[in-house]
Amino acid sequence: MTAAALPAERAFVVPRTQERIVTGLFFASLFVATFEKVHWNVAGQIGINDIATILFLIAYVATERRPLPRTSAIVLGFFAAFALVYLAGFWNIDTQQGLTQFTKGMTKFVIHFAFLIAAVGYLAQRGERFFWRALGWFTVGFVANAVYGILQLGSQLAGHSLDNLLLNPLTGGAASINIYGAIGGQNIYRVNALTGDPNHLGVMLIVPLLALTPVYLRLPRGHRLRWPLAIALVFLLLVDIATFSRSGGVGLIAGLLVLAVPYRRFARSKQFLYPLGAIALVLLAALYSRRHFFETFLSQRVSTQGSSANTHFAVYGFIGDVLHMHPLLGLGNNNFAVYYEFVTGKSNFGAHSYWVAVIVESGLLGLAVWIVFLRYAFVRLLAARRLGRLLDRLGDPVGAQVRPLAYGLTAALVGTIVANFFYLTLQFYYFYAFLAFALALPVVFAGRARGRPG
């Protein structure tokens, strides 16, 4: 190395202490991505995931000098496209309440996409080991949320409230477990953990369940992560079931159908059947102990005639009205609740379908940009699957990790998209963290195909 080359290379070196701070904030933002309940009424409402993400972005911008990868640049282009559509739709807003909601929506939009751009760049710049560590922190965040949910349910059955004991004194809020109703004088509790709604948790858990199941199935016997991952997946699935979320269930089934063909050979393996058997035993024991209670409740949840199901389908009727008024740009970003308060009687009523919200709030142009954006995510995941297949042919053992993860992330994306036809979680932090892993995967491991592991 020549002396002349040293100054140029040193320009990209970040001091170790600063690098640790940025890394810690990044891992923290991934860990708390699903912690919706942990928020404070400051400047409207600010959550712990807002704080962690903003601090990471500030630290990243202040210390990072390396150029962003091409993928981040493309995401920046999509950010500009979304921003143009939303800003153009601003002129359809004609109330102060609508302006307030638009400002809130745009703030979240900017933070989410800024995080996505920076996260993809950071994962690509730090390499393979860092990628797996980051994915581990993201997964542990889901597990921690689910653990809180089980403790929340157990304390409620014991006649106490974990939210009142721990969470509400911290946040000053009024968080509580969801009570669906009562059967024979017994309350029906649906676990919502640290999310705002049991359906949110049910849909969120699609991501780790579908993304990591193929990785688990491909782990060789004796691998140190095989048993911990099996236990985590079983636990997360049981918590997902405890949410009783129909949207989450539909999304999970859709994602499993994606995995059914490439991983059908594992259907009879001990690695698959033993965890599945453990789940079946737990569920059968619960059903047997309170058979009448669960029979009555499950018959209500599978029915499509209740008021809850009607609400999910009724919102689709709003699409025609909006397309008649503002077909191209909709009513304005984050303005669904404003214009339909006279129908619902609620000022914070969500669309109960992310795709309805997209059309209502950003029109056909907004929907088109979203379709193109998600298509790009699928294209990058296809590139990751092909990369994994190439590494398998080259005899690189990492191919047995990259390819399953690419399949799992693809299934998780399909499942989340399907679930959001009946709920809306695509607007939350966890989804943008998930997208960062999906988009960064082929970038991080591309060097291996050229003989240069990252």
Q: Structure tokens of 290?
A: 């309170």
Count CA within 13 A, CB hemisphere, residue 292. Answer: 5
Count CA within 13 A, CB hemisphere, residue 169. Answer: 5
| Per-residue pLDDT reduced to its tens digit, 379-412 | 999 999 999 999 999 999 999 999 999 999 999 9
Alpha helices in 127-161 (DSSP H): 128-157
Please tell me the pTM assigned to this model.
Answer: 0.91
Mean pLDDT by 10 residues, the chain (454 residues): 43 73 97 94 85 96 89 97 96 88 93 97 94 98 97 92 91 84 79 92 97 94 91 96 92 96 90 90 83 70 59 73 87 83 62 88 96 98 96 91 97 97 92 98 89 66
| Per-residue pLDDT reduced to its tens digit, 319-328 | 888 888 889 9
Burial 246-282 (b: 16+ CB within 10 A, else e): bbbbbbbebbbebbeeebeebeeeeebeebeeeeeee
Provide the angle, in degrees to the nearest 10, between the axes of the packed helices 96-126 and 128-157.
130
User: Strands (DSSP E) along 28-131, which ranges?
Assistant: 39-40, 46-47
Per-domain boundaries in the chain: 14-449
Q: Residue 98: its pLDDT value, please?
A: 87
C-beta separation of 23 from 63 below 8 A: no
- Identify which of 81, 72, 126, 128 has the alpha carbon closest to the alpha carbon of residue 436: 72
Q: Structure tokens of 446?
A: 């591309």
CB proximity list for 247: less than 8 A, separation 6 or greater: 199, 202, 203, 312, 419, 420, 422, 423
Count CA within 13 A, CB hemisphere, residue 193. Answer: 27
In 3-state terms, what secondary structure has residue 225? Answer: coil
C-beta separation of 203 from 247 below 8 A: yes
Q: How many helices (H) and strands (E) does the chain have?
A: 22, 4
C-alpha 257, offset from chain centre:
19
Q: Residue 8: its pLDDT value, please?
A: 42
